[in-house]
Amino acid sequence: MTISYKELGFVNTKEMFANAMKDGYAVPAYNFNNLEQLQAIITACAESKSPVILQVSKGARNYANGTLLRHLGRGAVEWAKELGANIPIALHLDHGDSFEICKECVDAGFSSVMIDASHLPFDENVALTKKVVEYAHQHDVTVEGELGVLAGIEDDVVAEKSTYTNPEDVEDFVKKTGVDSLAISIGTSHGAFKFKVSSPDEVPPLKFEILEEIEKRIPGFPIVLHGASSIDQTAVAEINKYGGKMENAVGIPEEQLRKAAKSAVCKINIDSDGRLVMTANVRKVLIEKPEEFDPRKYLGPARDALVEMYKNKNENVLGSAGRY
């Protein structure tokens, strides 16, 4: 059975990105895997009147079950209205790795999908991305493709590497595939251990010159930044203070994301920052109140802290607050 995202109350990313491009901000794309993360995202975006892209990875689908996620998503749309917010909400597949998973999500009510074929040779990336676009567009679902490979946590990103997006490829890729947005690699990285450095001051700056070159070649085309968590050092210190072990966890400085959000970057992906805040707060309660065994008593404070973190992103980093 095929379910249209329109019946569930979601929107695709077309208008969201057009507005973000026009007004110089980025739409937040927050990953969720459970109820508390979703509640925090919706509360924060409703309170700050920000559009939002709810991101579901393959891992999230395996963890939370596709049917449950769909109904959580539909509930989130209704709940946002009850909160008095008239914000657009998209349900997006993050890092889809095959035509089949993208099709499954289109058929299950997602309004946007990413096909991440960036590890394949250019022509194969084009062919797979085009196939997904052809199917998704029949259902008015938008598609994000990717060119260039983000540095992994093992990669020494301080050195120049050929994994950055090659600006010479972007025009051809966009034309041949028909994608609606393009994720690029300009020095961001997934996870909490983004760079092999011992302090946040040593984090290498993003390659804005590559972004500018890309903008020149595909003017007005929506660009996406993955791996954009800032890895708040207060949260890292809390985790370590309450028995955790996270050494040399560093992220992308907020100042650089602010600059990116004003450019053609229309979507900024954040997952790890949410994981950190949640873990820090759960650890704190469990250590300070060892008698506590009601999950609501340790997940509740973590959820409250998440709301504040997401609101801060919308208001002070991405600039998406107050847009609706």
Instruction: Provide the annotated active-site residues.
Output: 94
Q: Are 119 and 15 in contact (CB under 8 A)?
A: no
Q: Least distance to ligand 13P from the beta carbon of 263, Å? A: 18
Q: Residue 228 binds which entry of ligand G3H, Zn ion, ligand 13P, none, with Cβ cut-offs from 5 to 8 Å by kind?
A: ligand 13P
Pairing state between β 27-31 and 223-225: unpaired
Return d(Cα 226, Cα 142) in angstroms, integer: 17
Q: Is 194 in the site for ligand G3H (CB under 6 A)?
A: no
Q: Is 191 in the site for ligand 13P (CB under 6 A)?
A: yes
Considering only residues 103 to 162 of the shown chain, the ones binding ligand 13P according to CB under 6 A are none
Q: Least distance to ligand G3H from the beta carbon of 280, Å? A: 17
Q: Residue 180 or residue 271: which is nearer to ligand 13P going by CB? A: 271
Q: Which of 15, 18, 24, 59 binds ligand G3H (CB under 6 A)?
A: 59
Q: Least distance to ligand 13P from the beta carbon of 188, Å? A: 7
Q: Are 15 and 88 in contact (CB under 8 A)?
A: yes
Q: Are 246 and 240 in contact (CB under 8 A)?
A: yes
Q: Residue 269 or residue 314: which is nearer to ligand 13P going by CB? A: 269
Burial of residue 276, with CB atoms counted within 10 A of its CB: 0-12 exposed, 13-18 middle, 19 or more buried: buried
Q: Which of 177, 269, 279, 281 binds ligand 13P (CB under 6 A)?
A: 269
Question: In which element (H, E) is residue 64 found?
Answer: helix 58-64
Q: Which of 21, 27, 60, 186 binds ligand G3H (CB under 6 A)?
A: 60
Q: Is 153 in the site for ligand G3H (CB under 6 A)?
A: no
Question: In which element (H, E) is residue 145 found?
Answer: strand 142-147
Q: Binding string, 79-108, against ligand G3H, x = CB under 6 A?
A: ---------------xx-------------
Neighbours of 29 (CB within 10 A): 27
Return d(Cα 10, Cα 47) in angstroms, integer: 19
Q: Is 271 in the site for ligand 13P (CB under 6 A)?
A: yes
Q: Is 36 in the site for ligand 13P (CB under 6 A)?
A: no
Return d(Cα 39, Cα 293) in angstroms, integer: 21
Place of tokens 């329109």: 6
Q: Which of 146, 232, 271, 273 binds ligand G3H (CB under 6 A)?
A: 271
Q: Residue 36 binds which entry of ligand G3H, ligand 13P, Zn ion, none, with Cβ cut-offs from 5 to 8 Å by kind?
A: none
Place of tokens 């993360």: 37
Q: Is 226 in the site for Zn ion (CB under 5 A)?
A: yes
Q: Is 229 in the site for ligand 13P (CB under 6 A)?
A: yes
Q: Residue 85 or residue 150: which is nearer to ligand 13P going by CB? A: 150
Q: Are 54 and 89 in contact (CB under 8 A)?
A: yes
Q: Residue 57 or residue 129: which is nearer to ligand G3H going by CB? A: 57
Q: Is 190 in the site for ligand G3H (CB under 6 A)?
A: yes
SS (H, E, C) 225-285: ECCCCCCCHHHHHHHHHCCCCCCCCECCCHHHHHHHHCCCEEEEEECHHHHHHHHHHHHHH
Q: Are 323 and 33 in contact (CB under 8 A)?
A: no
Q: Is 165 in the site for ligand G3H (CB under 6 A)?
A: no
Q: Is 226 in the site for ligand 13P (CB under 6 A)?
A: yes
Q: Least distance to ligand G3H from the beta carbon of 145, Å? A: 15
SS (H, E, C) 160-172: CCCCCCCHHHHHH
Q: Residue 260 or residue 270: which is nearer to ligand G3H going by CB? A: 270
Q: Are 113 and 106 in contact (CB under 8 A)?
A: yes
Interface with ligand G3H (CB under 6 A): 31, 57, 59-60, 94-95, 190, 271
